Structure 1
Amino acid sequence: MLLRTISAAAIGLVFGAGIAISGMANPAKVLNFFDIFGTWDPSLLLVMGSALIVTFVGYRLVLRRPAPALDRKFHLPTKREVDVPLVAGSALFGIGWGIAGFCPGGAIPALGSGEPAPFIFVAAMIGGIWLARGIKALSARRAALA
């Protein structure tokens, strides 16, 4: 258990450092990336493309193993269909990223800046998670009663 915790902390630190160094924790840089007809900054395209390549190769190598190094089995998603919650959640994620300039991966390391914006974003994100879970639970209860 201690090795898993240390490993998770080290991975989180490397990820957070990468986010900070690449500029993904800077909402102004992210918003300039989305402003293709104004002050467009294409540098994040390199960051995202690099992350995609590393992820693609990493998954191919890691999933060849019979099990992960620090667990008994891989915990991969089993749901394959595209449904309304997936599309709606993806749209909300994109809209939120475009409005605030933060995504969860960039907001968490940005908390270290001491600026209020990432704290407000993270609080709103936690509130949104809480609200979504409440709506899902209510929907499940209504479906059980029907």
Structure 2
Amino acid sequence: MKYNLGALIVGLLFAIGLGLSGILQPANIIGFLDVFGKWNPTLLFTMAGAVGVHFITYKLIRKRKTPMFSKDWFIPTRQEITPALVIGSLIFGIGWGLGGYCPTVSVTSLASFETRPLIVFVSIIFGMLLFGFLDKKMNLKSKLE
């Protein structure tokens, strides 16, 4: 229960931060990605703030034996760049640019009851299910690793 409550609090705080930063507005995302057109650099401040907070708190938090809201640390150990990582990153970036929403923002934006975030969210779920189906049939993970 303690872990779920902690996750809820952190998730709500994150959602509020997304809303305040303007990242829930697709026009801001598309403007940020349009570096050769009407570039909107304001999300650089959001990114700088997030990286700064993470840089400071990560060093402090990692001094603990266990996380506050979990029994174990979940730290990635792989460091190599694989074809799966590159392909997945490209698909993520293209989807983000076309839809104006990254996966986290699309979930948060569902609270707006607008159609666009719902379409993006359903597309993300469909893409995950499609990959799972294709992976079972063609063993894609092992071919991409």
Provide the TM-score with structure 1 as the length reference: 0.89
- CA distance in structure 1 between the aligned counterparts of 2:69 and 2:109, rounded to whole angstroms: 28
Q: Secondary structure at the match of 1:123?
A: helix
- CA distance in structure 2 between the aligned counterparts of 1:100 and 1:134, rounded to whole angstroms: 24
Indicate yes or no: 2:58 matched with 1:56. no
How do residues 42-121 of structure 1 correspond to structure 2 at under 5 angstroms? 42-121=41-120
Q: Which has the higher contact order (CA 8 A, sep 6+)?
A: 1
- CA distance in structure 2 between the aligned counterparts of 1:110 and 1:44, rounded to whole angstroms: 17
- CA distance in structure 1 between the aligned counterparts of 2:93 and 2:50, rounded to whole angstroms: 18
8 Å CA contact retained: 1:19, 1:105: no
RMSD: 1.6
Q: CA deviation at 1:113?
A: 1.0
Question: What runs of 5+ residues in structure 1 fail to find an aligned partner?
Answer: none
- CA distance in structure 2 between the aligned counterparts of 1:48 and 1:82, rounded to whole angstroms: 23
Report the AA paired with residue 9 of structure 1: L
Question: What runs of 5+ residues in structure 2 fail to find an aligned partner?
Answer: none
* Identical positions, percent: 35
How do residues 23-38 of structure 1 correspond to structure 2 at under 5 angstroms? 23-38=22-37
Provide the TM-score with structure 2 as the length reference: 0.89
- CA distance in structure 1 between the aligned counterparts of 2:125 and 2:57, rounded to whole angstroms: 29
State the partner residue of 1:19: 18
Report the AA paired with residue 48 of structure 1: M
Q: CA deviation at 1:10?
A: 0.9
